[in-house]
Amino acid sequence: MKTDHCSGTVIAAFGRSYLVELDDGELLKCFPRGKRSEVACGDRVQVASAATGQGVIEAIDPRSALFYRSDAFRQKLIAANVTQVMIVLAAAPSYYEDLVNRCLVAAEEARIRAVIVLNKFDLGTSAAALESLRLFETLGYPVLPLSARQDVTPLLPWLEAQTTVLVGQSGMGKSTIINRLLPEANAATAEMSIALDSGRHTTTHARLYRLGASGRIIDAPGLQEFGLHHIAPEALDNLFMEFRPFIGNCRFANCRHVSEPGCAINGAVKEGLVSERRLTSYRHILSGLRH
């Protein structure tokens, strides 16, 4: 290190320790000050040297965006300063639509573009999965069919000049995408367990990789749930983008679109202007936030 204090980017998060790439290219294993850590992969940080090859994170620079989940007790930071969330799905193991909706809500709240990738498109059951995802495409979320084991080049235009975080359930092929894009990454992969209809957790920490001259991609650990306790119940409806034209048109100003008479969004569902699947998901999420 040339000075005692340097700027760098967090390129891997291991719970209480972090790998920081300094602006001069040096890599340091760093630890935060204090007992609580609020550092995320992708953060720009100020680091003080502590020992050979190690440092202390003194400060986190202001973030342009933060993608995270939360439960009633704590927040789980996923990635900072990202411009795009790529939700990776597959027809097998089966994906949870509720998890997709929750990721989309979190992306809307953080004002980050969301893209849905349907991986393993060579499987025979993928056509039905793609048809189910047409709902999200009609809302404006791009849906990209992909067979990562065969060809990942369809993703390249979407990744250029973006900082993208890959999220999704285990076994959907996030690490395979990383390996195909960056063979040198040596990201661990594992075969899904057909018997359990789930994949094994192969990514245990968030890791940032540079992609070409201007792209960055963050591989995040597999998700089985996505808490949204950081979102106020009264703000949730605005995060379902198709609800927005109808918000404010309900009979009651405090309508939460559950069972109130004169609900404009419920009326839009009956007219075919809003999907009943999305309204059901909204009500499920809202119930969790209220309790």
Q: Are residues 169 and 136 in the same domain?
A: yes
Estimate the share of the chain in helix, then strand, then coil, as percent rounded to the nearest 5: 25, 30, 45
Residue 161 is assigned to a structural domain of this protein: yes
CB atoms under 10 Å from CB of 42, counted, come to: 26
State the pLDDT confidence band at 204, using cuts at 50, 70 and 90.
low
Phi, psi for residue 88 in degrees, rounded to 5? -95, 120
Residue 225 is assigned to a structural domain of this protein: no
Q: Are residues 270 and 244 in the same domain?
A: yes
**Domain endpoint, select from 219, 242, 272:** 219
Residue 227 is assigned to a structural domain of this protein: no
Give me the long-range contacts of 55-62 (CB less than 8 A, separation at least 24): 55/6, 55/20, 55/28, 55/29, 55/30, 55/31, 56/30, 56/31, 56/32, 57/18, 57/20, 57/30, 57/31, 57/32, 57/33, 58/5, 58/33, 61/7
pTM: 0.89
Residue 228 is assigned to a structural domain of this protein: no
**Domain endpoint, select from 219, 252, 282:** 219
Contact between 241 and 108 (Cβ < 8 Å): yes
Q: How many domains does the chain have?
A: 3
Residue 172 is assigned to a structural domain of this protein: yes
State the pLDDT confidence band at 201, using cuts at 50, 70 and 90.
very low
Instruction: Supply 238's token pair.
Output: 């605005």
Range of the domain at 267: 233-290
Q: pLDDT tens for residues 6-22?
A: 999 999 998 788 999 99
State the pLDDT confidence band at 191, using cuts at 50, 70 and 90.
very low
Exposed / middle / buried, residue 63 (Cβ in 10 Å: 0-12, 13-18, 19+)? middle
Amino acid (1-letter code) at residue 259 = S
Q: Are residues 109 and 11 in the same domain?
A: no
State the pLDDT confidence band at 196, using cuts at 50, 70 and 90.
very low
Q: What is the CATH number of the domain that holds 47?
A: 2.40.50.140
Query: Higher confidence at residue 200 or residue 120?
Result: 120
Q: Are residues 92 and 178 in the same domain?
A: yes
**Domain endpoint, select from 219, 242, 264:** 219
Q: Are residues 112 and 246 in the same domain?
A: no
34 pLDDT more than 90: no
Task: Please name which of 29, 21, 62, 19 lies closest in space to residue 205, comparing C-alpha atoms.
Answer: 19
Q: Are residues 36 and 79 in the same domain?
A: no
Among residues of the chain, what percentage have pLDDT more than 90? 70
State the pLDDT confidence band at 53, using cuts at 50, 70 and 90.
confident
Q: Are residues 156 and 252 in the same domain?
A: no
State how far the Cα of 81 lies from the Cα of 100, in Å rounded to an integer: 21
Residue 47 is assigned to a structural domain of this protein: yes
Residue 28 is assigned to a structural domain of this protein: yes
- Looking at residue 237, what DSSP letter applies? G
Q: Are residues 275 and 181 in the same domain?
A: no
State how far the Cα of 200 lies from the Cα of 250, in Å rounded to an integer: 45
For residue 15, what pLDDT is reported? 79
Residue 224 is assigned to a structural domain of this protein: no
Q: pLDDT tens for residues 227-280?
A: 999 999 999 999 999 999 999 999 999 999 999 999 999 999 999 999 999 999
Q: Are residues 21 and 165 in the same domain?
A: no
Among residues of the chain, what percentage have pLDDT more than 70? 92
122 pLDDT more than 90: no
State the pLDDT confidence band at 2, using cuts at 50, 70 and 90.
very low
- Looking at residue 185, what DSSP letter applies? G
192 pLDDT more than 60: no
171 pLDDT more than 50: yes
72 pLDDT more than 90: no
State how far the Cα of 143 lies from the Cα of 154, in Å rounded to an integer: 12
Task: Please name which of 34, 26, 30, 32 lies closest in space to residue 54, comparing C-alpha atoms.
Answer: 30
Q: Are residues 208 and 76 in the same domain?
A: yes
Q: Are residues 141 and 283 in the same domain?
A: no
Q: What is the CATH number of the domain that holds 131?
A: 3.40.50.300
Q: What is the CATH number of the domain that holds 275?
A: 1.10.40.50
Contact between 20 and 8 (Cβ < 8 Å): yes
Q: Are residues 101 and 51 in the same domain?
A: no
